[in-house]
Structure 1
Amino acid sequence: MPAEIRKLSDCAEVLPGYSLKTRAEHEPEGTHQVIMAKHIPEDLAYEYSDHHELRITPKGSVENYEVHSGDVLFISRGTRNQAVVVKDVPQKTIASATLYILRVKDGIDPAYLAWTLNQSSMQSQIAQVRTGAGTPIVQRKLIVELEIPVPSLEKQKHIAEIGKLMMQEKSLSQELVELMNLKQSLIGQQLLAQFYEMNQAGEHE
């Protein structure tokens, strides 16, 4: 069965993040954890880490801004419009206004939705609807119109798993390159040190 094409608004409820009136300052006794765009990783999943800790005590009701496992977070501002599926967050965690919360509807796998939004063809469409000269923003009324290919739920999960494995392979490849560069640097330093020692020994003969 071919994939059905649906608007993003038919795949997920797109909710805004909480607007901070001033720069967020960590309050150790704050009631809520805040997720900022800077906390969003390059891969397909977000999982809370202690170095993300940023607690505040928001004013008014913030239930609509709370983030739960299975939500998809999308960076709405700037040019890195990354999407990630939320794996684990503390209770009472809210998203900042730099993020949209995508709460998937029945029949949609959140990991597949995040993977789809991160594909180059979809990112090109997102770039076309960004507005603003200073800090570009993807307006909610425009992103909900994005057309998403929706295969069967089983196939969505299969695609999402392949995407996860590809990201892991990419990460391992980058680590391997870094290790090779470090190895070459160390070998180079050792060779230079030997050359200097040989040169100094020759001068004293």
Structure 2
Amino acid sequence: MNDAAQTTPLKDVAYIRAGHPFRGAVEVFANGSVAVVQMKDILPTGQIDWSSTVCTELIGRKDPDWLKQGDLLFISRGSRYHAAYVDLPPPFAVCGAHLFHLTVRDPGVVLPAFLAWQIGQQPVQRQLQQAASGSHQLSVAKPALEALEITIPPMKTQRLLVDLADMALSEKTLLTALIRNREQELDALANALASGHPLNFS
């Protein structure tokens, strides 16, 4: 690939598969060997909350599409269609039916973390909003996802963008924690004031 950014359909960049075809609700087993990632387990930051996933057992002769390090999970329903980066998955994990399972074809050409970042940005989000359809709840179908136009810059640029995105997330996490602590401090002062106790501003 040359130094210029190139645009290509997502299907040429990644393998796209539907989530595991569970029949109805996921049956939960307390000591199940398979973790199941559902929409509820994907944080707004694009990270997967493995601690909130349920465990189950899979029955069938065909090997499931196990989640691997560097895979992506695409949320196809709702008001924002972002991709989650699969990081440090358990040995056996699958995703639910309302998620698409993406595997980058050649990580030497496209960094999975970069692809996840780009899918969450405004230019791609506009494409997804235009492609979404449905009468009761908007969703993005597999053909529309496959046709999504992705811009691929040189690898050095991809790494820089991923590093910047990671720094922005770290800064946001820190600021959110500081704001939460300040709000808790103000709540404590308000309660002390209402109950007639001395106010501690230290």
Please give the range of the TM-score, normalised by the shorter of the 2 chains.
0.7 to 0.9
Aligned residues: 194
Q: More displaced, 24-33 or 169-178? A: 24-33
Deviation at 1:60, TM superposition (A): 4.0
- 1-side partners of 2:197 and 2:97: how far apart? 58
Contact 1:43 1:167 in 2 (8 A): yes
Q: TM-score, normalised by structure 1?
A: 0.86
Q: More displaced, 54-63 or 36-45? A: 54-63
Instruction: Give the structure with the higher percent strand.
Output: 1
Report matched runs for 1:97-136 at 5 Å: 97-106=97-106, 107-136=109-138
Report matched runs for 1:135-146 at 5 Å: 135-146=137-148
Structure 1 moving runs of 4+ over 6 Å: none
The code of the aligned residue for 1:61 comes to K
Which residue number in structure 2 is paired with residue 52 of structure 1?
53
Deviation per residue, 1:42-83 (Å, 9 max, x gap): 22333633x3232132334143x2211110111112333221
- 2-side partners of 1:3 and 1:24: how far apart? 42
The code of the aligned residue for 2:60 comes to K
Which residue number in structure 1 is paired with residue 85 of structure 2?
85
Could you list the runs of 5+ residues in structure 1 that have no partner in the other structure?
197-205
Aligned pair 1:189/2:183, yes or no?
no
Which residue number in structure 2 is paired with residue 67 of structure 1?
67
How large is the Cα RMSD of the aligned pairs? 2.0
One of 19, 27, 30 as aligned partner of 1:28: 30
Structure label with greater radius of gyration: 1
Deviation at 1:31, TM superposition (A): 4.6
Which residue number in structure 2 is paired with residue 203 of structure 1?
none
Instruction: Give the structure with the higher percent helix.
Output: 1
Deviation per residue, 1:155-180 (Å, 9 max, x gap): 21221111111112112222222211
The code of the aligned residue for 1:86 comes to V
Contact 1:13 1:103 in 2 (8 A): yes
Percent identity over the alignment is 25
Contact 1:71 1:101 in 2 (8 A): yes
Contact 1:46 1:85 in 2 (8 A): yes
The code of the aligned residue for 1:59 comes to G
- 2-side partners of 1:141 and 1:157: how far apart? 29
SS in 2 for 1:170: helix
Contact 2:43 2:49 in 1 (8 A): no
When residues 35 and 182 of structure 1 are mapped into structure 2, their CA distance, relative to the original with a 3 A threshold, is: same
